[in-house]
């Protein structure tokens, strides 16, 4: 095996990986090494990895099985496991949001404006791993932010952690795609009930399963109690810079993150530059999150986010 090395992005989260070529010759021993590293660093950044969509899907399969591109949105027709995101198509929505009274407006709290989230928590089994590849990248802007959800949990008082360990939250998405799915599956709505604290299925470490995008309320609390507690947790998520890592993109940069232990946000500055930014996403199928008290996530509306093969 070639010499693989990891250059940490911060003391706790993220690493740039050197000494690996993610091509057809990727050996199982290398995949195993990278999987171990992903559990340790949570975010792995690979530079100069030119590949086509088929290769990205094969890579995703090697890490545990590619899902369809998204539970709601269509993937590419030729490679349905790939979700293409072009900033030029999202900018009108961003610009409209900037001028209106909605979560993205300049007056909204930072916890909402930055849209910190875990991918697809509106399904009962969010993907375990997300893989994102830079296809067209601006000279500056469009960075992605990551937050270590295990550090977020560990930074709370033991008393509060003990209480959060017992709770569940409702996550939902009710805006089905206007375009029918190519694969004929339902495009939503989706509602899932998750533990507020999840136990990582491979490491056993606890993290907060929180998102400013899809998380609606904490089960069993009065609305104001739920809102205040979630606002506090999301303020911690968005405001504790010491648990954040920031990835700057280049064309052919590939970033792989453990969707079970980090939240992410971005691009947060899409209206501050004019160039195009295109990224292609694939996701590795995930299992049902489990809480410290044994509570297992379940779908309240809609199906699971399953592997394609």
Residues that bind Fe ion in the complex, under the rule CB under 5 A:
119
What's the min distance (Å) between Cβ of 13 and Fe ion? 16
Q: Supply the DSSP string of 129-154, one letter for each residue.
A: EEEEEEEE--SS---EEEEEHHHHHH
Q: How far apart are CA 85 and CA 217, in angstroms?
A: 29
CB closer to Fe ion, 119 vs 236: 119
Q: Supply the DSSP string of 205-240, one letter for each residue.
A: -EEE---TTTEEEETTS-HHHHHHHHHHHHHHHHH-
CB closer to Fe ion, 119 vs 148: 119
Q: How far apart are CA 161 and CA 124, in angstroms?
A: 23
What's the min distance (Å) between Cβ of 225 and Fe ion? 28
Burial 192-201 (b: 16+ CB within 10 A, else e): bbbbbbbbbe
- Tokens for 80? 């349905």
What's the min distance (Å) between Cβ of 292 and Fe ion? 25
CB closer to Fe ion, 31 vs 97: 97
Which three-class secondary structure state does DSSP give residue 46?
Answer: strand
**Position closest to Fe ion via CB:** 119
Closest CA to 71 of 279, 305, 240, 262: 305
What's the min distance (Å) between Cβ of 43 and Fe ion? 13
What's the min distance (Å) between Cβ of 118 and Fe ion? 8
What's the min distance (Å) between Cβ of 308 and Fe ion? 19
Q: How far apart are CA 309 and CA 303, in angstroms?
A: 17
CB closer to Fe ion, 16 vs 119: 119
Q: How far apart are CA 149 and CA 193, in angstroms?
A: 18
Q: Angle at the Cα of 300 (from 230 to 164), degrees rounded to 5?
A: 30
Alpha helices in the chain (DSSP H): 28-41, 53-62, 87-99, 110-113, 149-154, 158-164, 223-239
What's the min distance (Å) between Cβ of 132 and Fe ion? 8
Burial 108-142 (b: 16+ CB within 10 A, else e): eeebbbbbbbbbbbbbbbbbbbbbbbbbebbeebb
CB closer to Fe ion, 135 vs 164: 135
CB closer to Fe ion, 119 vs 150: 119
Q: How far apart are CA 249 and CA 269, in angstroms?
A: 13
CB closer to Fe ion, 65 vs 266: 266
What's the min distance (Å) between Cβ of 117 and Fe ion? 6
CB closer to Fe ion, 53 vs 119: 119
């Amino acid at each position: 095996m070639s010499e693989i090395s990891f250059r940490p992005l911060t003391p706790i989260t993220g690493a740039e990986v050197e000494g690996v070529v993610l091509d057809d010759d990727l050996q199982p021993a290398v995949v195993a090494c990278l999987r171990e590293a992903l559990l340790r660093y949570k975010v792995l950044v690979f530079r100069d990895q030119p590949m086509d969509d088929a290769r990205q899907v094969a890579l995703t399969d090697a890490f545990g099985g590619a899902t369809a591109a998204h539970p709601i949105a269509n993937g590419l027709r030729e490679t349905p496991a790939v979700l293409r995101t072009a900033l030029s198509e999202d900018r009108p929505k961003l610009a409209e949001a900037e001028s209106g009274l909605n979560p993205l407006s300049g007056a909204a709290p930072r916890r909402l404006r930055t849209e910190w989230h875990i991918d697809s928590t509106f399904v009962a089994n969010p993907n375990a791993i997300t893989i994102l590849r830079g296809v067209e990248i601006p000279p500056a802007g469009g960075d992605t932010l990551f937050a270590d959800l295990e550090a977020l949990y560990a930074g709370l008082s033991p008393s509060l952690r003990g209480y959060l360990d017992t709770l569940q939250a409702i996550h939902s998405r009710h805006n089905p795609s206007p375009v029918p799915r190519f694969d004929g599956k339902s495009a939503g709505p989706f509602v899932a009930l998750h533990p507020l604290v999840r136990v990582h299925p491979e490491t056993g470490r606890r993290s907060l399963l929180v998102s400013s995008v899809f998380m609606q309320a904490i089960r069993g609390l009065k609305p104001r109690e739920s809102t205040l507690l979630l606002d506090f947790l999301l303020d911690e998520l968005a405001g504790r810079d010491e648990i954040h890592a920031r990835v700057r993109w280049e064309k052919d940069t590939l970033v792989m993150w453990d969707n079970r232990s980090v939240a992410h946000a971005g691009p947060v500055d899409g209206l501050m530059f004019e160039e195009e930014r295109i990224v292609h996403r694939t996701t590795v199928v995930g299992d049902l999150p489990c809480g410290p008290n044994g509570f297992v996530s379940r779908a309240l509306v809609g199906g699971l986010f399953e592997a394609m093969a």
